[in-house]
Amino acid sequence: MAKKSVWSDNRFWQRSAAWITGFASILLIWLTFDTIPQITMGNDADLQSGVTKRVPGPTVINYKITYEMDKKRGHEIPVIGEKEKFFGRDDWSEEEAAALLHLGKLGSQAKNCMNCHTLLGNGAYYAPDLTKSWLDPAWQANGSMQAMTGKSTKEEAMAEFLQHPSQYPTHARMMPNLGITAEEAKGLVAFLKHMSSIDTNGFPRNFGKIQGAVNGK
């Protein structure tokens, strides 16, 4: 009788498949629980005591956010600096800031931003990524977008643009008017500001260095 090969033996493949499936299931369950502390939102006390969280608390909208190269990590990270006025206030309470962010989040879902844009890398590739849009120099003082809207602060310029996007020629793929109200625009800008403060391990790579990656020019 010819010697049977292990490779053509059903039991070997069955046992291997069972091992791989079992191992992968345990690994994925572990990975899920391992991710939770990484994505848990911080709070106001963390911000005040300078505790670094990957996802800072909602009151981060009271602070200036910059994007700075971290030599040790080899990419840029959002740095939360001194207090900065957001729509004329730098004393948004935790509840107020959370409510504003919630409004912005619901707004981003209702207006389906992801149908064209990417948020934290998720979404469509038609319009620019919004992860770090708050940090885009075009919205800062002397930036082209701020100048175009005629506003004097970043948040007001962004809110103005969001309410009347079709008035401002930005890109060959112009943003359509989505009927965003002033209050919704405020929430959306808060949502974007908070998103820019999330430590995304340097995503998007080389943000601010690539012409056209951010503001489509």
Partner 1 sequence: MFEPFVDVVPSFFGWLNQGPLTLTIFLHTFIVLPMIWIYKQEKARLEQEG
Contacts to partner 1 by CB under 8 A: 1, 3-4, 6, 9, 11-12, 15-16, 19-20, 23, 27, 31, 34, 37-38, 52-54, 70, 72-73, 199
Smallest separation (angstroms) from partner 1 to the CB of 100? 25
Q: Are 101 and 194 in contact (CB under 8 A)?
A: yes
CB of 6 to partner 1, least distance (A): 5
**Looking at beta carbons only, is 94 or 199 nearer to partner 1?**
199
The Cα–Cα gap between 213 and 215 comes to 6
Cα end-to-end distance, the chain, whole Å? 74
The torsion angles phi and psi of 60, rounded to 5 degrees, stand at -60, -20
Report the nearest approach of partner 1 to the CB of residue 29 (Å): 13
For residue 156, count other CB atoms closer than 10 A to its CB: 18
* Closest by Cα among 18, 28, 95, 24 to 59: 95
Name the minimum Å distance from CB 80 to partner 1. Answer: 13
Q: Which one, 70 or 91, has the nearer CB to partner 1?
A: 70
